[in-house]
Structure 1
Amino acid sequence: MSNALEKRVMRKISWRIIPFIMLLYFIAFLDRVNVGFAAIHMNEDVGLNPAIFGFGAGLFFIGYFLCEVPSNLALERFGARIWIARVMVTWGLISGAMAFVQGPTSFYVLRFLLGAAEAGFFPGIILYLSYWFPASSRAQVTALFMAAAPISVALGSPISGMLLEMDGLMGWHGWQWMFVLEAIPALLLGVVVLFYMTDRPEKAKWLTAEERNWLSSTMNAERAAKEQAGASHSILKGLTDPRVLALSLVYFGTSAGLYTLGIWAPQMLHGLGLTSVQTGFVNAIPPIFAVIAMYTWSRHSDRSGERTWHVALACTAAGIGLFFAGFAVSLVAVVLALVVVNAGVSAAKPPLWSMPTMFLSGSAAATGIATINSLGNLGGFVGPYAIGLIKQSTGSFEWGLYFVAALLILSAVVTLIIAGVARRQTAALAATH
């Protein structure tokens, strides 16, 4: 009976929660990286060179960094339903305002504000999943949620490319239409969140009393077991735990890789002679492989219970892919390299996000996850800015891509170091008993 109940509950919450949060992240990621498509024409229209564009595009993550931890603590206090709705409406308004960029200053300000507005969404959802899904299935669930990012690129790229063709309609540039039209779903879904999302299992009226009781007791027992095993739940511990800081460094490299793709890949492809529409469709190819890699890799990670090598190997593959993208000259070679980078970066993230909740709970989990995300996402500033700066100096993407590749290899090395330290600590603890 218990096994049948568990299957029924997991099926219900999976169908209720996962498709919806995937849709939310789809829109979030689209509004975060559509600036890469806008740049094909916007940069010339408003006077942005590669260095200015790279810096401004990356400023998103400075705003994100400054507001991430307080935003995630606010989510824990006020509940996911209210806070996620607030986040979405705010970022929708600012994303739409990107249509009115006039030059470097307004570009900088709006990208910074967009990051501040969206701060808390991603780590908030990661924390939210820990309220509903047992640790044994969390990497797969996280993978499904995060698959919305490459899906967003795969489906959003052709849409963005086609919206750029609206140039001249009612006196607006195509990139202005793109920003406004792609911001509307965030505003609408922000309202839907208020009526659809449920904060905790105890409040889930769409579950029967028996189902609610089973899920609540299961999740409470898991939290109690973590605390008994020494999992920390203080806010300070979530900010200062060396493992949190190390995982932030790992995530830094993956973020540099991810946003290098999101922000610069459309311009790389367009520079090979493709039209805006062709760029949209070609840019959609690598993320398709990323979705497959992300799900299969995370499922293998859950089944084996292994996290370290699943993160390290995926980061290494992504680094190698970026290295080859640096000197690839043909369209086919560049696309194949981008396939490897997309697959590696995407596959690394779900097992990585399964690691902090193994040793943190409560407020420490909220703070720790937000800390990893905010510090790690600074890679989204460093990667795109470095590439813009290097391209401005050299006229080529090559050495910028090599730089980001090195960051991904560093992520792999740090992951292995974290595991080695943990093994030694466990052995030392066992020796004292």
Structure 2
Amino acid sequence: MAKKKSAPAAADDAPAVLDGLPATRNGAAAAAEDGAAAGAGAAAAAAADAAAAAPDPLAPTLRKVTRNIVPLGMAIIFISNIDRSNLAYGALTFNRDNGFGPSVYSTAVSLFFVTYCVLQMPSNLVMLRVGYRPWLTMLLIGWGIVATCFSLVTKAWSLYLLRVLLGILEAGALPALWHVFAVFFPARRITVPFSTLSIAILLANMLASPLATGLLAMDGLGGLKGWQWLFLIEGIPAVLIGALTWIFLPPAVASARFLDREERAALEAAVEKDRAGTRGAGSAREVFALTRRALANPYVGVAFVANTMSSLAAQITLTFTPIIISNIINGTALDNSASVAARAGSRALKPVALTVVPYALAASLSLAVAFSAERRHEQFLHAAGCLLASGACLMLVPLLLHASSVAGFVALCLAIAAGSASSPPMMVLVARLCLGDDQAVVLPVINSAVVLGGIVGPLATGAMLNRLGGFTYVFVIMGALNTLEAVTVVIVRWWVLREGGLPDGGRNTKNVRAARRIASDAVTAAAAAAAARPDAAASKAVESV
């Protein structure tokens, strides 16, 4: 009697692995059910493997789209970031020659982001009405002209005015390109295209350093100062790219001449499937309805706060990296004698040239993180891990600088690289938190949160620089904010999974490897059950698995 009881007891333990099947079974019936469940799990895993291995019929079409759309988008973002950040690279001599201190410089930097932030969503709503091709063309030509005018600055008011105008004109570029990519790429294939925009930003930061070094070295040529050559030469490409945008960017998938008729139809159908259940913005009433619907998304507010935190650190480092490096070289980074201007008689080429190191590392790491996130279809942990590493390195910079300027510089480079690498998965994650035309509102709103850091960060840094031990507290605060955002991203991940997954249907945790693991657990459970049951039916159940 005791022996007969033991077999059902073992059988009752096995179903716990098999996703809550009833435990009131015995003998061969239990083993047969276990075997069937295991077989179903194995079949599901095989189906997942087959789906993953099957060729994507859209792949050739998307390769053509990538070749024709992505490079132009990257060029637009590249020159946008060159023109907004060249003030940072010319700052050391620009501030010295014009007599500008930390207050004037940080105010000028922040003014750009005020208009850039406020006009992100209005600019994109106008774009939805007039079309992205004419809108992008106008923006590029306009900011190219403004960018060249920085070479004429002699007073603080002229610097402020030009930064405001540049912010107005650049505000719509990145959100418009987000919309362009959403038009030409299905949601399941948009991670890498979106990530290329972040890579373009990082390439701009990386190449801005050698470009600025070369242009600043032209100091005295033709009677112009180095920073004047910097603004003149770096403003012209935006005008040229504006003309190329009008010529080469199709206004819709239906007019893309690099695709044949069948490819256009298939791509439109795939993209339209992602837009199911959403409506575009045509009349003013539809625009407001779209805005109201998009902002009602519960994830948007949390994403706004999270991106604001990390943007503070990102914008401070972008604005002050050459200045921080200059102060590290001079040994003044952690005391109140830290300066935003070069020393008299110095062309300040070395700190500008060294800025290439953190951003070259950032570009490489960001590309690796972006491909890893797409391959695993997971953005939460990639973003959180990068932010956590960046926060730790930033908080270590002051400690390491006391020991060695080289160690402090290395920690700064690692912090910038890790923080930048969080941008691609964060950008894609925000896009996945909404659907269809809602992205035209949500993405500018989130990007406005990002540029809020460009308003607050430089102003706060300018206020602390000569009062609270140079950049000491700046490093600590930046590190704490990145760490806090990493925690926020993990909390949002828990929230999304608790609510049943992302709006685009993804759960970020269910993949082929998970299916294989479930099937393997089922097989193991069935084998254990069969070992506990000497009857032939149980053995046949295991054989069926």
Q: TM-score, normalised by structure 1?
A: 0.91
Mapping 1:67-78, distance limit 5 Å: 67-78=119-130
| Contact 1:318-1:342 at 8 Å conserved across structures | yes
Mapped pair 1:264 → 2:320: yes
Preserved CA contact (<8 Å) 2:206 2:355: yes
Closer, same or farther: CA 320–114 of 1 in aligned 2, 3 Å: same
Amino acid at match of 1:215: L
Q: Which residue of structure 2 lines up, in the alignment, with residue 294 of structure 1? A: 366
Q: Could you list the per-position Cα deviations for residues 67-101 of structure 1 after superposition, in whole angstroms to 9, with x for gaps in the alignment?
A: 11011112222222111111111111111112222
Structure 2 counterpart of 1:407, from 481, 504, 507: 481
Who is 2:543 aligned against? none
Distance in 1 (alpha carbons) for counterparts of 2:278 and 2:427:
17
Aligned to 1:320: 392
How far off its partner does 1:193 sit? 0.6
Q: CA deviation at 1:298?
A: 1.6
> 1:9 is aligned with what amino acid?
T
Q: Which structure is higher in helix share?
A: 1
Secondary structure of 2:499 counterpart: helix
Aligned 8 A contact 1:87 1:121 in 2: yes
- Given that 1:315 and 1:412 are in contact with CA atoms closer than 8 Å, whether structure 2 keeps it comes out as yes
Question: What's the CA shift for 1:226?
Answer: 7.8
Answer yes or no: is 1:6 the counterpart of 2:58.
yes
Paired position in structure 2 for 1:349: 423
Distance 1:379 1:240, change over 3 A: farther
Q: SS state of the match for residue 394, structure 1?
A: coil
**Contact in 1 for aligned 2:384/2:489 (Cα 8 Å):** yes
Number of the residue aligned with 2:272? 220
The match for 1:431 is: none
Partner letter of residue 278 of structure 1? K
Name the counterpart of 1:98.
150
Contact 1:257/1:405, CA 8 A, preserved across alignment: yes
Residues of 2 paired with 1:117 and 1:309: CA distance? Answer: 35
Higher Rg of the two aligned structures: 2
Amino acid at match of 1:399: Y
| Distance (Å, rounded) in 2 between the aligned partners of 1:9 and 1:326 | 51
Aligned equivalent of 1:230: none
Q: 1:393 to 1:240 in 2, by over 3 A?
A: farther
In structure 2, give the amino acid aligned to 1:195. Answer: I
With 210-219 and 125-134 compared, the bigger mean Cα shift is at 125-134
Q: Which moved more, 1:343-352 or 1:265-274?
A: 265-274
> Whole-Å Cα distance in 1 between the matches of residues 395 and 376 of structure 2?
30
Matched to 2:366, the amino acid is: M
State whether residues 49 and 392 of structure 1, in contact with CA within 8 Å, keep that contact through their aligned partners in structure 2.
no
Return the TM-score normalized by structure 2.
Answer: 0.73
Kept in 1: contact 2:115–2:167 (CA 8 A): yes
Which structure 2 segments of 5+ residues have no match?
1-53, 280-288, 331-345, 502-545
Q: Is the alpha carbon distance of 1:393 and 1:103 closer, same or farther for their aligned partners in structure 2, counting shifts above 3 Å?
A: farther
Aligned-residue offset at 1:189: 0.7
Please give the alpha-carbon distance, in whole angstroms, between the structure 2 residues aligned to 1:404 and 1:51. 20
Greater shift, 138-147 or 329-338, is seen at 329-338
Does residue 358 of structure 1 match 2:410? no
- Shift of residue 380, structure 1, vs aligned partner: 1.6
Measure how far apart 1:197 and its partner are.
0.8
Tell me which of 87, 105, 108 is aligned to 1:56.
Answer: 108
1:224-235 alignment runs, 5 A limit: 224=276, 234-235=290-291
Bigger Cα displacement from structure 2, 368-377 vs 127-136: 127-136
The gaps in structure 1 that reach 5 residues or longer are 228-232, 428-433
Q: How many residues align?
A: 422
**Quick check: 330-339 or 257-266, which moved more?**
330-339
CA pair 48-236 structure 1, distance change in 2 beyond 3 A: same
Q: Which amino acid aligns with 2:101?
A: N
RMSD of aligned Cα (Å):
2.2
In structure 2, distance between residues paired with 1:266 and 1:55:
18
Residue aligning to 1:373: 447
What CA distance in whole angstroms lies between the structure 1 residues aligned with 2:128 and 2:397?
41
Q: Compared with structure 1, are the counterparts of its residues 242 and 84 closer, same or farther at alpha carbon in structure 2 (3 Å cutoff)?
A: same
CA distance in 1, matches of 2:107, 2:297: 30
Partner of 2:198: 146
Letter matched to residue 250 of structure 1: A
Matches within 5 A, 1:28-427: 28-224=80-276, 234-271=290-327, 272-273=329-330, 276-329=348-401, 330-394=404-468, 396-426=470-500
Letter in 2 for 1:179: F
**Residue deviations 1:88-132, cap 9 Å, x none?**
111111111122222322222221221111001112112221111
